[in-house]
Amino acid sequence: MQPLGLFARAHNARGLEKNERDVRGLRGTGKSLGRALLGAALISAAPGMAGAQAPAGNTAADNRDFITRLFGVYADEFNSPSAAPADEAAPSPSERRPDIPPAPLDAPPWPWTDWPFGAAPLLGGATPNSSGDTAMKALSGTPAGDLLMDNHIEIWGWIDGGFNLSTSRRKNGNYPAGYDFNPNTAQLNQAVLYIERVPDTVQKDHIDWGFRVANLYGTDYREVTMQGIFSNQLTKHNHLYGYTPANFYVDLYIPWVGQGSDVRVGRYTTLGDIEADLDYQSLFDTHSLYYTYDPFTQFGVVWSTRLSKNWTVQAGVNAGNDVAPWEHDAKPTVTGCLQWSSDSSRDTIYACANGTNNADYAFNNVNLYQLMYYHKFTDRLWLATEEYYEYQRNVPTTPTIPGTNGAICPALATKCTAGAYAASLYLMYQLTGIDYVGLRGEAFYDVRGQRTGFATWYTENTLAWVHWLTPSIELRPEIRYDHSYAAAAYDNGARHSQVQFASDILVKY
């Protein structure tokens, strides 16, 4: 989402877990964090753990090593019966406070059960040790697994690889479309490892705590780079593949403020947005233009409070978009959001001022104002919309900060205000308990070309099908059409239009 300058010449950089969608919770504290992390270290030494219990569905005595147990879980999933039809899908988790709106969606097939809400766990709906992923199943009954579970710490993640076939032909030719910027190639999008403890937000009788460290390696690191945290691998060396700790934060849940409050401190994903950079949490394989060119993470503190069943408010202070507090470009920045949900969750509105300061030219120092709306028509059909305006002041025509773009200013002007407008619509339909289809349409206007390198309107339309081969393996083919109007933006400035067929396969562990 940050407009790194070398992307106007080569391709763009941006992206990771935009929305939190924390529907897992974790309960109680008990044993120390230190002991639990020691348990994590034992994973690599898991062979021959006496007395360990085989993962669900396996009957072998448990002298098997971790990798064997892990593949046993995958084998069990392949051999299990297929998922129920959409109208027979499993109900939402029952451990959820009755004084919050019900979960509107089923997961799977959707990537989340609740409408996206950033920088906080689900207040009133988090449940303990519920990722349900294969690594934790494989560790179940082992000393390491029991130690982690007793302390409500989970280790899980995914590996996601994909390819695209494009009418663009030149190197980096898919740009300004982000992520899959090289046409007609295959790539490792991201390999992600979570180590996390989510506070239990269902209970109301004690303060609880949590944390997350989200490690990401792949080409998508380019989309989520924060200045001052391994950023030279992109801004200086322009590596194709790289690593970033996309999130690292701590949570403190206080049940007695409002109907539950959470304080998050560290590097967290910016509030707002429908899409997500963490691929497991994303509706589509590819990402919209508007999502590619807004901010990704902030480093600071966010306070979130559920005021009532229907209203939740958020306020925060941070160092600015995609910049670490110790960097020269850091600026005191204020964030605020307000969410309203109907009693049934069929309608939700989420409005955010996602970073407000003087907006002077710096590393991705845009001020961003967003409005998201979700509506559920039936148990199968729903829509979402997102609109925003973002801008930056005093942007020079020739960039002076590594990793930024200049602006195409009026004649004789050496600096100007550069803004961008976006509007999007998602129409989503659930076919079965393991399939859905979706249509995404958007309009994006880069007024001064500071986000993409071209001062033009864009439209993008994508039709996707998502299928779960097993509870841990997801396939997402899609066809996408992009068009730029006032300038030929695609295939290194040679084309106004571009068609892609793209797909990825995501394997959770």
Per-residue pLDDT at 250 = 98
DSSP characters over 209-255: EEEEEEEEEEGGGGGG-BBTBSTHHHHTT--SSEEEEEEEEEEEEET
Query: In degrees, to the nearest 5, what angle opens at C-alpha 146 toward C-alphas 142 and 150?
Result: 180
Average pLDDT, the chain: 86
How many residues are listed for the chain in this entry? 509
Number of Cβ within a 10 Å radius of residue 497 = 15
pLDDT in tens, 61-110: 456 788 888 888 888 888 875 544 444 443 334 478 999 999 999 999 99
Cα separation, 324 vs 331, whole angstroms: 10
Pair of tokens at residue 154: 């989970």
* Two structure tokens written together for 186: 């295959």
Q: What's the pLDDT tens digit per position in 106-130?
A: 999 999 999 999 999 999 998 777 6
Tell me: cis bond preceding 402? Omega within 30 of 0 counts.
no
Per-residue pLDDT of the chain (509 residues; tens, 9 = 90+): 444 444 433 333 333 333 443 333 333 333 333 443 334 333 333 333 333 333 344 444 456 788 888 888 888 888 875 544 444 443 334 478 999 999 999 999 999 999 999 999 999 998 777 676 888 888 888 898 899 999 999 999 999 999 999 999 999 999 999 899 999 999 999 999 999 999 999 999 999 999 999 999 999 999 999 999 999 999 999 999 999 999 999 999 999 999 999 999 999 999 999 999 999 999 999 999 999 999 999 999 999 999 999 999 999 999 999 999 999 999 999 999 999 999 999 999 999 999 899 999 999 999 999 999 999 999 999 999 999 999 999 999 999 998 889 999 999 999 999 999 999 999 999 999 999 999 999 999 999 999 999 999 999 999 999 999 999 999 999 999 999 999 999 999 999 999 999 999 999 99
Please name the fold of domain 5-508: Porin (2.40.160)
